[in-house]
Amino acid sequence: MGDTGKPLDSKVREAFESKVDRSGEHHMWLGSRTRGGGGQIRVGGKLRTAARVAWELEHGPIEGDVRVNGCPQYSLCVRVEHLSLTALHRQSTKRPARARRGGGSITSLGPQRWKITVDAGRDETGRRRRISRTIHGTKAQASQALAAFVVDVAEGRVRPTPPGGSVSIDDLVAWYLEFAAEVRGLEHSTLVGYKDAYETWLTAEIGTTSADRLTPASLDKAFGKMRKAGLSHSRMNNGRALLAGAYKWGRRHQKVSINPLLGFELPTSSQAPKATAVPEIDELLSLLRGADEHEPDLAPVLKLAATTGMRRGELAGLRRDRLSLDRLELVVDTAVNDAGGEVVIKPTKTKQSRIVSLDEGTIAMLVDHLDAMDKRAVQCGAEIPEDGFVFSLDPSCIEPMRPELMSRRMRQLRKTLGIGKGDFDASILALRKWTSTELMDAGFNPSAISERQGHSVQVMLHHYSSRRRSADRAAADHLGSKVHKQ
């Protein structure tokens, strides 16, 4: 922690700035996180805290044993003015002993199936090397196998694959996921979907196979099991996309010499895609009244969703300083993603901000909601910052209402109101589709509708404009009046 080094160059600054949102009072880190919840970034092959890199970019290398303390309000804030330094006083100059090479772990892959992994040190580039095996049996048997495996690695009877040699598919995927997160900047939810599909369905089938020995037959067998299990096309495609990206990356970095994914086609999913049913206006109003009565914390979210068509993550990420109530508008430029249980503040899905106009009724609703949040903060002795979240269960509004919680409460509201399978979908996505459909049926310009909702006209027409019974009835009456006119 007290290492001194050369000043950070422009490439590090450019990579760092690409992962920081400086639009608010707190400059929020958008990149990967440490286990403690702070930001981290790779510099010169080593992971360093985002707070330390922010300080050194501003003030130069840190001399001596000094820790960079994060922002006391937000662990992901990297604004230099919010950081501080603490000198470390070590009781001994002797360096602490490193963990013994060969430490291992056990991961459950399913009933009576375990993945044991042993740390085999680093290669000449500094990259951590691990060796894995799949064990069948009880957890006690897996623990015994791991103990023996650790000894084999420590005594050199089992060695990691040398650089440039054949690697396992598990290793290839692990390297690619690190590259996809740090360099390509894939969405957090995309990476979570990739990992889930691979770890649940593929690693047990092909994970320990040499990446250069994966055959089309093995691929067909692995994905065939996913199809037989009734997985959706999207879930299977996550696995295919991950493997395809890993092999492309492996070819480019000379880790593999083949790409078995070329020409591979996913099996047809047996799961029929479910269309989202858009509510009629009386159904929508009934839902909003039910939310007022049974889910008062969620009711303002649903009303803003219906009048703006904002995405679930955008509603969660809306901050107070993005509201311009006097101009009857708000700015949508951030979103919250909590896939896999990790909360990530990120740009919008399209990476673009947009201004959404509001009506007088929505402005009045937001004023009432913000007043209620202010009173709650006073009662709890909390203070809400200027960029606090509009929708939050925290008295100081520094933590957003999580999207997953919104969906869970929507499901509970649906159950409370007795909305069955044959009715419309009581979801925020259904409200977003209602907004597009209502505006289309009312004759508004498709370009204006799509810009308001933050996607292209083609996407809006294909995914967000749906058939409603009322519109179909109006169409039937119109056609009938022409055909049967006396």
Confidence of residue 469 (pLDDT cuts 50, 70, 90): low
pLDDT(455) > 80? no
Q: What is the pLDDT of residue 200?
A: 93
CA distances from 73 to 200, 384, 426 (A): 37, 11, 35
Strand 28-29, strand 334-337: pairing: unpaired
pLDDT(149) > 70? yes
- Cβ contact 264:216 at 8 Å: yes
| Helices and strands (H and E) in the chain: how many | 17, 14
Tell me the per-residue pLDDT of 410-424, one tens digit each, with 9 for 90 and over: 989 989 998 876 666
Using DSSP's 3-state secondary structure scheme, residue 429 falls into helix
Tell me the per-residue pLDDT of 225-271, one tens digit each, with 9 for 90 and over: 999 999 999 999 999 999 999 999 988 887 887 889 988 999 998 88
CA distances from 436 to 299, 306, 307 (A): 20, 10, 10
Name the residue with higher pLDDT: 7 or 432.
432
DSSP structure string for 208-272? TSBGGG--HHHHHHHHHHHHHTT--HHHHHHHHHHHHHHHHHHHHTTS-S--TTTT--PPPPSSP
Q: Tokens in use for 99?
A: 């963990």
Tell me the per-residue pLDDT of 101-144, one tens digit each, with 9 for 90 and over: 446 788 888 788 888 888 877 665 666 777 777 888 888 888 88
Distance CA 343, CA 341 (A): 6
Tell me the per-residue pLDDT of 18-71, one tens digit each, with 9 for 90 and over: 899 888 888 988 888 887 778 899 888 788 899 898 988 888 888 777 888 888
Q: CA dihedral defined by 402, 403, 406, 407, rounded to 10 degrees? A: -140
Q: Name the residue type at position 174.
A: A
pTM score of the predicted model: 0.60
Domains of the chain: residue spans and CATH: 10-87 (no CATH), 104-252 (1.10.150), 281-431 (1.10.443.10)
Distance CA 338, CA 192 (A): 10
